[in-house]
Amino acid sequence: MLYKKLKGFPEGFLWGASTSAYQVEGAWDEDGKSPSIIDMYEHPKEYADFKTASDHYHRYKEDIELFAEMGLKAYRFSIAWTRILPNGTGEVNPAGIAHYRDVILECRRHAIEPVVTMYHFDLPYCLEEKGGWGNRETIDAFVEYARMLFDNFGSDVTYWLTINEQNTMILHPGAIGLPKGGSLPSKKELYQQNHHLMLAQARVMKLCHEMCPHGKIGPALNLTAMYAQSCHPQDAIAAHNWEVLRCWNFADVPVFGTYHSLAWQYMQDRGIAPDVRPQDCETLAGARPDFIAMNYYSTATIAASRGDASDLSARAGDQQIMLGEQGVYRAAENSFVSKTKYGWVIDPSGFRYTLRKVYERYHLPILVTENGIGAPDVLEDGAVHDDYRIDFMRQHLQAMQLAITDGVRMLGYCPWAALDLVSTHQGYQKRYGFIYVDRDEFDLKKLERIKKDSFFWYKDVIAKNGAYL
């Protein structure tokens, strides 16, 4: 749709940036923190591990000061459950509470809105040993952890994110990490875990509304619209299959309190539907988010399944993520979009399209909690000329402005990442930040912070509230 006049970004728009605890903090076993599943996973030998990462645990003050200089209005970060309740439940670690209280107050001191993710892939390992998300007791443990967060930080935090990318955890468990010497759970087990995560999320959203009168809470999912490879009706059905199974099945449950009917049919037909107890339906129906948080990187293009093993293929540049499912859909190429060096599709119009679809479906305001480009940034004479990142973000912000003009209600934009951090599979060779962290894969150097060109560009965008993109 072409417009005569574009709407501007709303007043109070949360111009932000994001990180997650295990990818940025380091201090993996300090001050009473216990190991999480991430600490215990098999880690590729050629990349940095999470032990020191960007040392944000020790340098958060310096980092938040830089965020303030950039003009950030919001900082999205995650709290490590393992710092708050090292045993998963029970005894509280005062050092963990003190640390995050300080991070939150430091944000507030700089007029930065803290946006807190409660769970970003890092289940306490001690709970994993008792069955992890496959064990219903983990639901109670998560509620106990949430109560601790609301109790301690509820008066200083308005925006809460329940679980980061539940759909990635369930659909591509290998993308998060591989258990040492172990194997990945079966689909049946994964959908049971998914159901428990849904119940935990519903209870925590309800608890937030009870304990934090000003609190707003929502799920953070990786959402993306699908294109059909052609106008062949079977391609359209396949694209719809995957859009439902990948996106709407995960967002419908928190918003509507029920599973998507097509997704439920799919799970039942394949014998992978979860065991749902009578009171579960009431729990799911008894909670509602205040907004949808959404991570957006790429779109996918989908063709009809051929019904055989050729439907499956590894995602370009990432052997951990298998795309396609026999009898459901097949991944296809799209000649109208470009790709990053790591094979991720770059599609700003797809961003607008996805925002429209999410808003049309849920009628809730949207907070973008991740968007960005991973690249092997180069430090040259004390500077990083990341014009590709500026181009990427400018185009996505232009697309968002079009979505706003389309009528989508946007709360904010928190791209990935505030500063360089350990990427899930490519360590520090693939960087996302506005701030360069001077370390190599194994040589920590001085971990000096260096402002990239994108830092200055984003600062200007924020100062003008997104005018003249």
Give 355: exposed, middle or buried? Use CB within 10 Å, 0-12, 13-18, 19+.
Answer: buried
Nearer to ligand BG6, 249 or 298 (CB): 298
Structure tokens at 446: 């001085």
Of the listed pieces 93-101, 385-393, 418-426, 449-457, which binds ligand BG6 according to CB under 6 A? 418-426
Shortest distance, CB of residue 454 to ligand BG6, whole angstroms? 16
Instruction: Among 330, 425, 439, 451, indicate the residue that binds ligand BG6 (CB under 6 A).
Output: 425
Shortest distance, CB of residue 382 to ligand BG6, whole angstroms? 26
Instruction: Determine if 168 is a binding residue for ligand BG6 (CB under 6 A).
Output: yes
Cβ neighbors of 24 (< 8 A, separation 6 or more) are 53, 54, 56, 77, 417, 419, 421, 422
Token pair 């993109």: residue: 469
Shortest distance, CB of residue 177 to ligand BG6, whole angstroms? 11
Interface pattern 345-364 for ligand BG6 (x via CB under 6 A): --------------------
Shortest distance, CB of residue 387 to ligand BG6, whole angstroms? 20
Instruction: Determine if 20 is a binding residue for ligand BG6 (CB under 6 A).
Output: yes
Interface pattern 368-407 for ligand BG6 (x via CB under 6 A): --x---x---------------------------------
Instruction: Among 34, 340, 354, 423, indicate the residue that binds ligand BG6 (CB under 6 A).
Output: 423
Instruction: Among 138, 162, 164, 201, indicate the residue that binds ligand BG6 (CB under 6 A).
Output: 164
Of the listed pieces 154-162, 164-172, 240-248, 263-271, which binds ligand BG6 according to CB under 6 A? 164-172
Instruction: Determine if 78 is a binding residue for ligand BG6 (CB under 6 A).
Output: no
Secondary structure element (H or E) that encloses residue 100, with its range: helix 94-109
Of the listed pieces 160-168, 252-260, 326-334, 450-458, which binds ligand BG6 according to CB under 6 A? 160-168
Instruction: Among 424, 428, 437, 439, indicate the residue that binds ligand BG6 (CB under 6 A).
Output: 424
Helices (H), 212-335: 233-243, 249-256, 261-269, 278-285
Shortest distance, CB of residue 222 to ligand BG6, whole angstroms? 6
Please name the amino acid found at residue 261. S
Shortest distance, CB of residue 348 to ligand BG6, whole angstroms? 18
Nearer to ligand BG6, 132 or 372 (CB): 372
Query: Is residue 44 classed as helix, strand or coil in its secondary structure?
Result: coil
Nearer to ligand BG6, 357 or 430 (CB): 430
Shortest distance, CB of residue 420 to ligand BG6, whole angstroms? 11
Token pair 């040492």: residue: 180
Nearer to ligand BG6, 267 or 375 (CB): 375
Helices (H), 130-226: 137-153, 166-171, 173-176, 187-211
Catalytic amino acids?
Answer: 370
385: which strand partners?
A: none
Query: Is residue 162 classed as helix, strand or coil in its secondary structure?
Result: strand
Structure tokens at 312: 């499956």
Q: How far apart are CA 312 and CA 223, in angstroms?
A: 21
Query: Is residue 303 classed as helix, strand or coil in its secondary structure?
Result: strand
Nearer to ligand BG6, 17 or 92 (CB): 17
Of the listed pieces 1-9, 204-212, 424-432, 433-441, which binds ligand BG6 according to CB under 6 A? 424-432
Phi, psi of 179 (to 5 degrees): -60, 140
Q: How far apart are CA 111 and CA 140, in angstroms?
A: 34
Instruction: Among 63, 165, 252, 311, indicate the residue that binds ligand BG6 (CB under 6 A).
Output: 165
Instruction: Determine if 222 is a binding residue for ligand BG6 (CB under 6 A).
Output: yes
Nearer to ligand BG6, 9 or 413 (CB): 413
Of the listed pieces 8-16, 161-169, 250-258, 376-384, which binds ligand BG6 according to CB under 6 A? 161-169
DSSP labels, 330-385 = EEE--TTSEE-TTS-EE-HHHHHHHHHHHHHHH---EEEEE----B----BTTB--
Which residues from 248-307 bind ligand BG6, rule CB under 6 A?
Answer: 295
Alpha carbon 288 to chain centroid, angstroms = 19
Structure tokens at 398: 């232009």
Shortest distance, CB of residue 138 to ligand BG6, whole angstroms? 20
> How many Cβ atoms sit within 10 Å of the Cβ of residue 275?
10
DSSP labels, 407-468 = T--EEEE--B-SB---BTTTBTTSB--SEEEE--SS--TT-EEEE-HHHHHHHHHHHTTT--
Secondary structure element (H or E) that encloses residue 32, with its range: none
Nearer to ligand BG6, 168 or 454 (CB): 168
Contact positions vs ligand BG6 (CB under 6 A): 20, 23, 164-165, 168, 222, 295, 370, 374, 416, 423-425, 430
